[in-house]
Amino acid sequence: MRRHNYVFGALCATAALTLCACGTGDHANTPDSPSYTDVQNILQRLTTTDGAPGALLEVSDARGRTVLKSGVADIRTRAPIADDSRFRIGSMTKMFVATVVLQLVGEQRVALDAPVEQYLPGIVEGNGNDGHDITVRQLLQHISGLPDYLDYLTPEQVLNDPLAHHDPLELVRIALDHPPLFPPGTSYAYANTNYLLAGLLIEKVTGRPYAAAIDQRIVEPLGLRATSVPGDAPTIAGDHPQGYGKQGNADPLDLTEFNPSVAGSAGGMISSATDLNQFLGALLNGRLLGPPELREMMATRPTGNSYHDAYGLGFQSTPLPCGGLYWGHDGGIMGFQVLGATTTDGRSATVMVNIYPGGGEAQEADIRAALATALCASSPANS
């Protein structure tokens, strides 16, 4: 998926693997909860036609929590996916980083329309890239014109040494060795480089690691027990599915353990569906940001894709087929593809599959369909 670009595609394995859909549903809601039969069917399609080993979706609304699953957590042991599974969330990390930056805006420690150079002097320069011309807002909205460092980091550089530490400044330099994509503010191009810089900005302003800021400002106040910024730690603590990747007809390759510093503040976090739904609901109902900062976050511009997404400041809106919008973010990182979103009336849903790269456009389409169908099924109009 080009949007978050964690496609480390040169994965080598052989032969074919037959996957079975082991659909289960753990309905924590009351007996009069809406039917999620259509959602379950999409999850089963993800684990059969699309080839994902397993899929999990959790939806939360005024009635409570519903968990739906299909497939397996581990293709070797055939173990089922645990309801409270933890997994890598990829670019959903950007919502957490943008929230911290906007909290600093609310505290008047950061100005959205100030140049990046004011906070990170001398870092954004070279080959026509200039931190004097790029604002904090433009970083958060992917309209800076900066190249994406992942466009120039080869699969071999990551997979040949999966436990290697990647310094964010070195990753930023990979991007800045190339000319800008366009003058700042004139177009939109999703680039993970923007959020590496946002993480560095948090550290410069607060004097603490960006991970500590996320913990202090979001994770601890909300009591998110399964959410962490692992830094260089290659493992996922607690119950978790194995994460896989595959290319073409090759067997899935286990990518569960690697050093996520290659993603850093652009995509390195771990969480669970329960925690993500709680975070999304708290974000949209104003528990984490003041009204002015939340309005800035939700001021979007179209991305130009076929799903009619519109991107704000680390927060994206997408039309729902039953009317209205959902707000959230997607994430793809080696081993996992995730999408989470919430609505203004308090419904939240998160879907995860434990393969990436994997099913390509069909997998993305079904992940989106599962989430939208679950949100529509949980609408009060369908209760």
Q: Which residues are catalytic?
A: 91
- Which amino acid belongs to residue 316? Q
Which of 151, 202, 145 has the alpha carbon at shortest distance from 179?
145
By 3-state DSSP, what share of the chain in percent is helix, strand and coil, each rounded to 5? 35, 20, 50
Neighbours of 25 (CB within 10 A): 15
Residue 36 tokens, joined = 């999620």
- Cis status, amide bond into 260, omega within 30 of 0: no
37 Cβ contact partners less than 8 Å away, ≥ 6 residues apart? none
Give backbone dihedrals phi and psi of 54, rounded to 5 degrees, phi first: -145, 160
Amino acid, single-letter form, for residue 292:
P
Query: C-alpha distances in angstroms, 126 versus 67, 112, 177, 179, 198?
Result: 49, 23, 7, 8, 19
Distance CA 254, CA 242 (A): 7
Contact 40, 25 (CB under 8 A): yes
Contact 303, 188 (CB under 8 A): yes
Half-sphere exposure of 250 (CA within 13 A, CB side): 17
Distance between CA atoms of residues 322 and 38, nearest Å: 14
Cα torsion 192, 98, 217, 113 to 10°: value is 120
Q: Are the CB atoms for 269 and 275 separated by under 8 Å?
A: no
Taking the CA of residue 217 as centre, how many other CA atoms within 13 Å lie in the half-sphere pointing to its CB?
Answer: 24
C-alpha closest to that of 3 among 311, 370, 270, 299 = 311
Sign for the CA dihedral angle at 362, 364, 365, 369 comes to positive
C-alpha closest to that of 51 among 67, 25, 37, 70? 70
